[in-house]
Amino acid sequence: MGTSHLNEGNLEAKAINAVIEELQRQAAENPSKLQVRQAGDKLAVHGEIDVDAVVMVVVGSLAGGP
């Protein structure tokens, strides 16, 4: 289950992309509390994560939201 499927448009790819984008958004919003590094299909995350926000964007992406 890597990010190599991101261009296929399947549900898994949408969920993966939503998680990565949301974590990067949270890190950009508060870099002193969260750091995110992506290397290929791996993600390194260190810090506090707003899990409710992650779940909301994943559900939204699967439901066809923005």
Q: Give pLDDT, residue 64.
A: 81
Confidence class for position 1, pLDDT limits 50, 70, 90: very low
Q: Is the dihedral of CA 18, 41, 30, 55 positive or negative?
A: positive
pLDDT digits (tens, 9 = 90+) for 20-64: 999 999 999 999 999 999 999 899 999 999 999 999 999 999 888
Rounded CA gap, 4 and 25, in Å? Answer: 21
pLDDT digits (tens, 9 = 90+) for 10-22: 889 999 999 999 9
